[in-house]
């Protein structure tokens, strides 16, 4: 397996440096006789059923699938590959880490680093969201674990959400609990999903919903026993894939374009806002205290 270092050009005309060792031997791709294909990268597992036109991405960044820059880089490349390969019409997002869908942004990427790093990190977060939110594929989130903040955003950016019925698996935008503010485009996606009043309430209080509450507020579409999450996601996917692609894609775009454009037209300003916000002493302090609390939870 070769190590690859190079530059990947993203849709917005920006480049993200792929660090040596990130895309580790990237594609050990194997094709079975039944049309099943598997791409293996270090932190993102892609399984696909070519015959059905469905791919499954499993997040594999233990212990908590935090959205580190390395994870995001691999994830963006996988999304691009699937998007450009017309074999795939549907994508299921799920986790390979027991009990955790994703812990959201990697707090270590936001603490004690330099300004250029914060800018690179935020660009990768934006890019990931735009790719998910505007995907031509049907996206179903099979949420098999806790899903705070950025983890919740990935789920909300899907077309349909199936959550495992386990009270430990809480989902929501909890940024205020960390002393930080959810960016406007996180807020927009939440408002589009649960409505303005519920979003106002949830965002200010940083609410993390248990499955029954998440279903009630409309943050997820279905709550099912844990062992039925994947099969339910697959049957939902089959239903959605019965709709002609062009009609569904145009409708999705009609529903989502304005929200995505809102970020696209001010991407650079949004990066600058993030950099100046996160580099404030008070914010650095809040993030460090929060990380410390997480670490001490065990002791
Ligand atoms: C003007 C523009 C302004 C923009 C402002 C900034 C906008 C920021 C936007 C988005 C915000 C985010 O996504 S911030 C991340 C929020 N995430 C969380 O609050 C989740 C925190 N984690 C947890 O609650 C729990 O870890 C868990 C429920 C996800 C799992 O619990 P569990 O008990 O299974 O595991 P531990 O808590 O013991 O954690 C294990 C290990 O992982 C470390 N950890 C956890 N979460 C993160 C994280 N998000 N980033 C980095 N590291 C994380 C935790 O510290 C433990 O580490 P150690 O083993 O070293 O102790």
Give me ligand 1 centre to Cα 298, in Å.
14
Q: Which residues are catalytic?
A: 105, 150, 174-175
pLDDT of 15 > 50? The answer is no
Is the per-residue pLDDT at 7 higher than 70? Answer: no
Phi, psi for 24 (deg, rounded to 5): -65, 105
pLDDT at 236 over 80: yes
Pocket test for ligand 1, best of 62, 68, 95, 103 (most atoms within 8 A of CB): 103
**pLDDT greater than 60 at residue 5:** no
Ligand 1 centroid – CA 8 distance (Å): 28
pLDDT of residue 66: 98
Residue 181 in tokens: 């503010």
pLDDT of residue 187: 98
Tens-digit pLDDT profile for residues 209-218: 999 999 999 9
Ligand 1 atom closest to Cα of residue 276: 1
pLDDT of 81-138, one tens digit each? 999 999 999 999 999 999 999 999 999 999 999 999 999 999 999 999 999 999 999 9
> Which ligand 1 atom sits closest to the C-alpha of 175?
11
pLDDT of residue 294: 94
Q: Using alpha carbons, list the distances in angstroms from residue 3 to 144, 198, 224, 276.
A: 32, 47, 41, 34
Q: What is the pLDDT of residues 168-221, one digit of tens each?
A: 999 999 999 999 999 999 999 999 999 999 999 999 999 999 999 999 999 999
Tell me what pLDDT residue 10 has: 35
Smallest CA separation from ligand 1 atom 27, residue: 103
CA 278 to chain centre: 20
Residue 142 β-bridge partners: 162
Query: Nearest Cα to 149, choosing from 112, 116, 110?
Result: 110
Q: Is the pLDDT of residue 280 over 90?
A: yes
Domains and CATH numbers, the chain: 39-297 (3.90.226.10)
């Amino acid at each position: 397996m070769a190590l690859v270092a190079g530059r990947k050009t993203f849709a917005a005309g920006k480049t993200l440096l792929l660090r040596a060792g990130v895309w580790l031997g990237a594609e050990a791709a194997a094709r079975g006789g039944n049309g099943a294909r598997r791409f293996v990268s270090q932190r993102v597992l892609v399984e696909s059923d070519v015959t059905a036109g469905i791919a499954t991405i499993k997040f594999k960044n233990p212990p908590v699938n935090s959205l580190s820059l390395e994870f995001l880089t691999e994830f963006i490349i996988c999304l691009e590959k699937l998007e450009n390969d017309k074999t795939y019409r549907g994508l299921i997002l799920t986790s390979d880490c027991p009990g955790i869908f994703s812990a959201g942004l990697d707090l270590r990427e936001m603490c004690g680093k330099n300004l250029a790093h914060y800018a690179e990190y935020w660009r990768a977060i934006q890019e990931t969201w735009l790719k998910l939110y505007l995907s031509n594929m049907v996206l179903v989130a099979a949420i098999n674990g806790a899903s705070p903040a950025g983890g919740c955003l990935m789920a909300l950016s899907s077309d349909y959400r199936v959550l495992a019925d386990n009270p430990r698996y809480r989902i929501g935008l909890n940024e205020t609990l960390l002393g930080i503010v959810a960016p406007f485009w996180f807020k927009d996606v939440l408002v589009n999903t649960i409505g303005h009043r519920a979003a106002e309430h949830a965002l200010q209080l940083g609410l993390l919903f248990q499955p029954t509450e998440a279903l009630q507020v409309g943050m997820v579409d279905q709550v099912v026993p844990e062992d039925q999450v994947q099969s339910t996601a697959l049957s939902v996917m089959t239903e959605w894939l019965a709709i002609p692609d062009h009609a569904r894609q145009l409708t999705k775009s009609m529903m989502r374009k304005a929200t995505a454009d809102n970020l696209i037209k001010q991407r650079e300003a949004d990066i600058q806002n993030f950099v100046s916000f996160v580099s404030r002493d008070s914010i650095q302090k809040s993030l460090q205290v929060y990380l410390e609390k997480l670490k001490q939870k065990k002791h």
